[in-house]
Structure 1
Amino acid sequence: MPFRWNPREHLSLGVYILKWICLATPVAAAVGSACALFLWLLDRSTQLRIETPWLLFLLPLAGAGISILYTKLGHVAEGGNNLLMDAIHGHEKVDSGIVVPRRMAPLILVATVVTHLFGGSAGREGTAVQMGGSIASTIGRWFRLSGTDMRTLLMAGIAAGFGGVFGTPLTGAVFAMEVLAVGRMSYDALIPCLIAAVIGDWASGAWGIHHAQYVISSAAASLGGTPLNWLLTLKVAVAAVAFGLVSALFAEMIHGINQFFKRTVDRPCLRPIIGGLLIIALVYLLGTRDYLGLGASSADPHTVTILSCFQPDGATPWSWWWKLLFTAVTLGSGFKGGEVTPLFFIGAALGNTLAHLMGAPVDLFAGLGFIAVFAGATNTPLACTLMGIELFGSQYTLYFTIACFLSYLLSGHSGIYLSQRIGTPKLNLAHLPLGASLRATRELRSGWGAYLLRRRSKADKPSDQNN
C-alpha cells in the first residue's frame, strides 16, 4: 500500500492549535483570576459569618436584595448555567453577539458571596462556571468570533472556571464537554477546553489560592495487597445505588421547591424571604449551624464538614439529608450559588453512613460518595471518575468508576441542569426523544400522584370485571 500523507491537513491542525492557544489563554487567565477573587471573598465572608452569628437573621433580607438585584439588572442572566448550555446548543443568537450578558459575572459573584455571608447553603461551581461563560462571551465579542467559535470559547470558559475553582484541570476539561448532553460527549472542543482548564487552574493558584487536600488511606488494608477485593466491590456497587437515588432526590427537590415557590408566591422578592425564614427555623430546630454555607471545612473539630466526613465519627447518620434539605430550600427559593460543593458534602456524609452500615472503609466510601452523587446529579460519570483520580489518587480508580457509572445510570433522566440534552438515553423509552432537554423530559414524566392513580385503577379493574 502506498504511503499517503496530506501536509495541508497537518498544517491546518497546527494552525488550529495555535489559534486556540491565542484565544483560550487570555480567557482562562481572566477566568482563573476571577475564580481566585471569588474564592478569597468566599473565605472572608464565611469567616465573618462564623464570627458574627447574628448575620443569619438578615438572611431573608439578603435574599430579597438578591431577587431585586436580578429583577432590575439581571434579566436573561437569571438563567445561569442553563443559559450557558442553551447558548452552546445554539438556542441563542450567537452570531449577533447575544450569547451571555457581561453583567452575569459580577451579578453572580456578588449574589453568591451575599448568600454565603448570611448563611445560605450553596456551592461555588455555578458561580465559577457562569463567570467563565460571561468572560468568554465578552472576549469572544471583542474578537468578533463566528457562532461555532463562540460556542467553543464558551465551553473553554466553563472548563477554566471549573478547573480554577476546584483545582482539577483534567476534570474541568472533560466536564465542559460531557455536561452538555446526557450520554454523549463532543470532542471538537477538547484542545480548547484542556488549554483553558490548565491555565485557569494555574492562574487561580498563581494568586495564592490553595485547595483542600483529601486523603484515602484506610482502604488499603481492605484491599489486602490485591488489585480487586470482590466483597468490597459488591459493597461499592450497593452504595452506588444509594448515591444515584440520592442525586435524583437532590435534583428533584430543588426543581420541585423552585416550582412550588413560583406557583404559590407571585412576588419574586418574597420567595427568598420565606426560604431564609425556613433556613433559620431549621437551624434552631436542629440546634446546629453545620449545614450553612459551603461546609467544606471548619476550625471547630465538632462541626460536620466535607473533610470531617472522611473520619469515622465525622458525621451523623442523617447529615447527608439535612445538608440536602438546607441546600434545596436555599437554591429553590431563589438564592444564588452552585450545587456541586453541597453535592460533595451530601455524598461524603452519605458515604460515611453507608460505610458504617456495611462495615466498609469510611474514608473510601466518603470519597466515593463525594464524586458519585455529583456524577448522578450532573450526568457526568467520566468527569467525576477523573475527579476522583485527581483528588484521591489513582489506586482506587476501579471503585471510582463503578460508583460513578452506576450512580449516573440509577439517577435516571434527572439532573440539576435542566438545559442538558438527551444525547443517548440511559434506557430506550418512547417518551424520551433524542435531543430533548431534561426540562422537556421532566415535563413528560408523570409525577408520583399520577403513578399512584394508575396503580389504583389497575387494582380496581379485576373487581369491575367480576361484577
Structure 2
Amino acid sequence: MINMNGGSAKRPPLGDHSADHRLLLLAGMAVVVGSVSAMGAWLLLRLIALATNFFWFGRLSSAESTIADTGLGLGIIAIPIIGSLIVGLMARFGSDKIRGHGIPEAIEAILYGESRLSLKVAILKPVSSAISIGSGGPFGAEGPIIMTGGAVGSLFAQCFHLSATERKTLLVAGAAAGMTGIFGTPLAAILLAIEVLLFEWKPRSFVPVVVAVLVSWSWRPALIGAGPLLSLQAAMPSGYWPLLAAAGIGTVVGLEAALLSTSLYKIEDLFHRLPIHWMWWPALGAIVVGLGGYMDPRVLGAGYANIQSMLADTMTIKMVVTLLAIKAIVWIVALGSGTSGGVLAPLLILGGAVGCLAGHALPGDPGFWTMIGMAAMMSGAMRAPLTGALFAGELTGLFEALPLTLAAAAAAYAVSVLVMRRSILTEKIARRGRHVLQEYTVDPLDFTQAAQIMTAGPATLSGDLSVAGALSFFTEEAVHRSYPVVDGENRLLGLVSRSDALRWRNGDVTLEATLAETLSDRSQPVAYPDTPSSFIADLIIETGVGRIPVVDPQTRKVVGIVSRQDLLKVRSVNRVSETMRSRMIGQR
C-alpha cells in the first residue's frame, strides 16, 4: 500500500480470510504440541493416583483408588491440611502462578502476557494439582491440564521465531489437546478453545487447534483408554415437553452458577482480609475440606465416581442433596483460599446434582436429567454454551440428546449473562485490573472500504505551486493539516503538510522550487476505493500520516481522502446500528 513515486503500487490483498502459508507451519508444530499434551494428561492422572494412594493408603502406587474407601476416621481432616501446606509452600517458593484453577491464568497469559508461560509453571502446576487433588482437594484435573498443556504449547513456540499471536495459537492448541487427553472430548475441546481461549475465529488458529486435538485424541486409547469417560444408559424422553424441561433446568442451574461464582469471590475476599501471608490460606481452607470429608468422604477429590453414580441413578435423593450442599461449601472455600485445582469436575457435580434432583420429579431416568444439568452448569459458569451442550454428549456418548443439552445450555447462558457481569473465569482477571470482553464481532473497519468513508473530491494543491506559495497558503488559507499535491491531470504527486511548511520556512529548500520538484523523491502512502478501512488505519499508524489520499488504481487520479476522523465515524455508525431502534413496517 506504499506507492513510490515513479513506481507501481501494490494493492492490498482482499479475501474472506487472512490465512497464509504459515498456517501449515503452525499445523505441523501442533502435531508435536498435541502429542506432548496428551502425554502430559496421562502423567497428570498418574500423579493424582500416586498422590491419592500415598496420602490415603500409605502406598506407592499409580493404580486408581477412591478416597471414600479410606477408613481413617478423624484422620480424614488432617490429610487435606497437609496437602494444602505443601501446595502453599510450592506457590510461595516456586511460582505463585500455580495458584487457582488455571484457566484464568491461561487467558491472562494470552491477552496480556504475549502467550508466554514458563517451564517452572509447566512443571509445578501438574505436581501441585496432583498433591492438592490427591490429598482430598475437591477439584478436577481439567484446569491444571489446560494450564499445563498451554505451557507446553507456549514453551515449544518460544523455541522458534513466532509472533505473539502464533504463540497464542500453540498455547491454546496445547490446552485443548490436554483437555482432550483427560476427557476424550475432542469437539468440546475445540469449542472451548474458540469460546473461551482464542478470542478470535480465524483459520490460522482454528486449524492448528484441530490438529493438536486430533493428535491427542489419537494418543488417548494407548495412554488412558478409549471411549467416553462416563457412561449413560438412559432412554431419551420424547415429545416437546423435554425441551421445556431442559430449558427450565438450565434456568435454575444458571442461577446456581451465579450464586456459586458470587459466593466464591466473597470467600476469596475474606481470605484477602486475613492478617497472614497467602501461603497459609490453602491450609486454612483445607480445614473446611477435611470437616466436609469427615461428614461425607465423597466430596473429596475430583469426584468423577459421583457423577457416574448420579448418571446411573444409584444415589438416593438424600445422598444427592448432601453431596450438593457439602461439595459446594468445601469447593468454594478451597478454591477461594487460592490452592491449586480445576473447576470443571466440581461444576459438573453441582450442576448434575440439580439435574438429578429435578429428574426425580420429571418423567424419565434421573440420570438423563443429570446430564442436562451438567451441560447447563458448564455453560452458565464458564460462559461456553456450545461447549457445554456438546461436552455433555461427548462425555456420556449420548449424542442424540444434543437438542436438549443445547436448550439447557442456552437457558443457563442467558440467565448467567443477565445476572452476572463476568463469569467465574473472567472475574478473577477483572480483580487484577484487567477487562475481558468475550463477545466476538467483526471489526467494522474490516468490511468498510475507502470509497464508503472518504471525502470525495478533496481540496488539492497544484504541483506547479512554488514552495513560497505553499508557505503562504498554510499561513493564511489552510484548513487541514495536509493536502494532496497533483499534476495538471489531477494525478497524485505527493502529500504536503504543515510540518513540511515549518521545515521549509527554516530554509531546508529553495523557495522558488515547485512542489512537484520538492516532492519528486518522496514516497507516498495511498489507498484505493476498494481498500478496507482497517488497512488504512494500519497505514496511518505505520507512517504517521494522518490523511491518506485515495486514488484510482488505473489513472492514479485523486478521487478522495481518508482522515482519522473518517475512521472514527465508522465506529460511530456501527454503534448507532446496534443501539438505535425503529419500526420499519407500518412507517411512512
* TM-score normalised over the length of structure 1: 0.78
Match of 1:82 in 2: 104
Shift >6 Å, 4+ stretches: 7-10
Contact kept, 8 Å, 1:60 with 1:273, in 2: the verdict is yes
Alignment correspondent of 2:522? none
Displacement of 1:396 in angstroms is 1.2
Return the alpha-carbon distance in structure 2 between the equivalents of residues 212 and 115 of structure 1.
Answer: 25
Match of 1:423 in 2: 438
* Deviation for aligned residue 1:235: 1.4
Give the 5 Å matches for 1:165-176.
165-176=182-193
Higher share of residues assigned helix: 1
C-alpha spacing 1:380/1:64, structure 2 compared with 1 (3 Å): same
The change in CA–CA distance for 1:323 and 1:43 in structure 2 (over 3 A counts) is: same
Asked whether the equivalents of residues 232 and 368 of structure 2 are also in contact (C-alpha less than 8 Å), the reply is: yes
User: Which residue pairs with 1:46 in the alignment?
Assistant: 52
The 5 A counterparts of 1:231-246 are: 231-246=241-256
1:370 maps to 374
In 1, the alpha carbon distance for the partners of 2:268 and 2:201 equals 31
Residue number in structure 1 paired with 2:298: 290
CA contact (8 A) 1:160 1:172 kept: yes
Aligned residues: 397
- In the alignment, which residue of structure 2 is the partner of 1:449? none
> Match for 2:308: what amino acid?
L
Q: Give, in whole Å, the separation in 2 of the partners of 1:150 and 1:93.
A: 8
Output the CA distance in 1 between the equivalents of 2:330 and 2:353. Answer: 14
The answer for the alignment partner of 1:409 in structure 2 is 414
Aligned counterparts of 2:384 and 2:195: Cα–Cα separation in 1? 6
RMSD: 2.7
Q: Find the partner of 1:105 among 122, 139, 144.
A: 122
The corresponding residue for 1:66 is: 87
1:65–1:269: 8 Å Cα contact kept in structure 2? no
Is the 2:114–2:168 contact (alpha carbons within 8 Å) kept by the matching residues of 1? no
Separation (CA, whole Å) in 1 of partners of 2:91 and 2:178 = 22
Amino acid of the residue matched to residue 74 of structure 1? S
- Match status 1:92 vs 2:113: yes
Match for 2:182: what amino acid?
A: V
> Which residue pairs with 1:203 in the alignment?
219
Q: Which residue in the other structure is 1:254 paired with?
A: 264
More strand by share: 2
What residue number does 1:119 align with? Answer: 136
8 Å contact 1:324–1:346 — kept in the other structure?
A: yes
Per mean C-alpha deviation after superposition, the further-off stretch among 389-398 and 112-121 is 389-398
Which of 390, 399, 402 is residue 397 of structure 1 equivalent to? 402
Q: What does residue 20 of structure 1 align with?
A: 26
Superposed CA deviations along residues 330-356 of structure 1, whole A, max 9, x for unmatched, are: 211122110001111112221110111
* Greater Cα shift, 15-24 or 244-253: 15-24
The 3 A distance-change label for structure 1 pair 209 and 43 is: farther
Conservation of the 8 A alpha-carbon contact between 2:389 and 2:406: yes
Residues 254, 415 of structure 2: 8 Å contact kept: yes
2: CA distance, partners of 1:75 / 1:45: 21
Decide which of 161, 169, 172 is 1:152's aligned counterpart. Answer: 169
Output the CA distance in 2 between the equivalents of 1:217 and 1:207. 26
User: 187, 191, 201: which is aligned to 2:207?
Assistant: 191
State the TM-score, normalized to the length of structure 2. 0.63
Q: CA deviation at 1:160?
A: 1.0
**Equivalent of 1:330, from 327, 334, 350?**
334
Tell me how far 1:20 sits from its aligned partner. 2.2
Residue-by-residue CA offset, 1:143-177 (whole Å, 9 max, x unaligned): 13111211111111111111111111111111012
**2:230 matches 1:214:** yes
CA distance 1:406–1:378, shift in 2 (3 Å):
same
Give the conservation status (yes or no) of the 8 Å contact 1:31–1:157: yes
For 1:334 and 1:209, the matched residues in 2 are separated by 32
Q: Which has the larger radius of gyration?
A: 2
Query: Gaps (5+ residues) in structure 2?
Result: 1-12, 57-66, 430-434, 441-588
Cα distance change of structure 1 residues 361 and 158 upon mapping to structure 2, 3 Å threshold: same
| Residue identity in the other structure for 2:439 | T
Rate the CA distance shift 1:159–1:307 in 2: closer, same or farther, 3 A.
Answer: same
Partner of 1:387: 391
State the distance in 2 between where 1:55 and 1:192 align. Answer: 45
Q: 2:14 & 2:22 partners in 1: Cα distance?
A: 12
Distance in 1 (alpha carbons) for counterparts of 2:291 and 2:229: 33
Aligned equivalents of 1:116, 1:20: Cα separation in 2: 34
Deviation string 1:299-355 (CA, Å, 9 cap, x unpaired) is xxxxxx110101334253412232221211121112211000111111222111011
Identity value in percent: 24
User: 1:37 matched to which residue of 2?
Assistant: 43
In structure 2, what residue type is equivalent to 1:368? Answer: I
In structure 2, distance between residues paired with 1:383 and 1:185: 16
CA drift of 1:270 comes to 2.3
Q: Which residue of 1 aligns with 2:312?
A: 311
Letter in 1 for 2:211: I
Match of 2:113, SS state, is: coil
| TM-fit CA distance, 1:114 | 0.9
Any idea what SS the aligned residue of 1:357 has?
Answer: coil
CA contact (8 A) 1:377 1:414 kept: no
Structure 1 residue runs of 5 or longer lacking an equivalent are 1-6, 224-228, 298-304, 426-467
- Higher relative contact order, chain-length normalized (CA < 8 Å, sep 6+): 1
Amino acid at match of 1:206: A
Contact persistence 1:63–1:334 (CA under 8 A): no
Partner Cα distance (1:244, 1:333) in 2: 24
Residues 351 and 376 in structure 2, CA contact (< 8 A), matched pair in contact too: yes
Deviations 1:202-254 (A, max 9, x none): 2233224456543444333x31xxxxx12222211111111111122222222
Contact 2:30/2:170 (8 A) holds in 1: yes
Question: C-alpha distance in 2, partners of 1:212/1:265?
Answer: 46
